[in-house]
A and B are shown apart, each in its own frame.
Chain A
């Protein structure tokens, strides 16, 4: 990873944190607010493959954990699993397809929220399964599906220098952001 890439990705993560902590926290749909931080490991998995998706998911999860009241490290754990899973699931697919990112965001976000609640419950926070989980899944998945393509463009720009697993960056970044 080059210095330029680190700087660009840090800027992308910062933008996501700012938007999440200001605009998204003010939006309540059925009592639930969107969570765009979940998009980061998903699009990183699509662009960079399983290893980079997992690494980026871990790093952005730790950043998310700084602002959450839930156990520190839980977002990092679920984020790296999600980045890896999305990278693995999409590695054999045509990453230039326009529908891939929204679809991955829809399914990936749903999986993230369920896993987050279940793992939190296992790790001593049983109340995390006693929330309106279905509502959370629906709101977060749908909003992330809508925002998936702009997120993909931003992260593609951030990862522009990197080679991806299974395909050249130019194809992944340009194609995926198409």
Chain B
């Protein structure tokens, strides 16, 4: 019976140890600055490549789709179809432009920001990972954006900057399972609660709401702005859609939906604000 080499197992062991070390160091503060910097450099370096390839690939895709489409019908149908497509495109473009205008106009009138400065940004991508609810935006350090800054949209809080490079940033949405937002609800001064994300396209949940608290559907939770909080005070976060108390539960079970329409974000504003004390 041939002797088995131990080299592959030793290699695997060393690599696993290396990976676990990297993960641990990254999670424990100091080394995170290094990994964050490397990610930022990679993102900056790759940005022109991404733009260039997209500029080449998109017209080719459109051309191929068009060829297949038009080759499949006869001449008369081609003409009619082209007209229908034209009308549909015009209609879609109008709706698209109206939606863009609506979102941009709304960003000009964010009353809840008071005197806080903000930077408008366009959403360039909806998440690079299937395991996290994030968006990419087209502003970065060069625009004054820094880690942990709040991001708002039409309606309310969208999320928080978790990665920033020179010209781009990644925002963790409030629906992401890692997201937890300190909020207030009820009549002033308001009771405190924590609104947690439970995953993309799922309702938010609220912690610390005592059982039998009278909540009405549609009631809005706003950021608490406590000392050291991650968000400034008074930004609408989410609206109650249901609440109930279990027989033995000490807390109310509350489901909420974000005030911002996170599935149709095109423009957002990064609030140039950092946590206090």
Q: Residues of A at under 8 Å CB distance from B? A: 17-18, 21-23, 25, 31-33, 35, 49-51, 54-55, 58, 61-62, 65-74, 76-77, 80-81, 84, 87-88, 113, 116-117, 120, 123-128, 130-132, 136, 140, 165
Contact = CB atoms under 8 A, between A and B. Distances in A.
Given A32-B130, A67-B43, A127-B177, A72 B23 contact: yes
A29 to B, nearest CB: 11
* Chain B contact patch, size range: 35 or more
B15 A80 contact: yes
B53 A69 contact: no
26 contacts: A22-B50, A22-B54, A25-B125, A33-B130, A51-B11, A54-B11, A55-B11, A65-B39, A66-B39, A66-B43, A69-B132, A69-B163, A73-B20, A73-B21, A80-B15, A81-B12, A84-B11, A84-B12, A88-B8, A116-B131, A127-B131, A127-B132, A127-B176, A128-B177, A131-B130, A140-B130
Given A18-B53, A69-B170, A127-B178, A81 B16 contact: yes
B201 interface: yes
Contacts of B199: 127, 130-131
A167 B38 CA distance: 38
A76 B22 CA distance: 9
Interface of B: 5, 7-8, 11-12, 15-16, 18-23, 26-27, 35, 38-39, 42-43, 46, 49-50, 53-54, 57, 125, 127-132, 134, 162-163, 170, 172, 176-178, 197-202
Contacts of B54: 22
B92 to A, nearest CB: 18
Contacts of A18: 49-50, 53
A66 B200 CA distance: 22
A72 B22 contact: yes
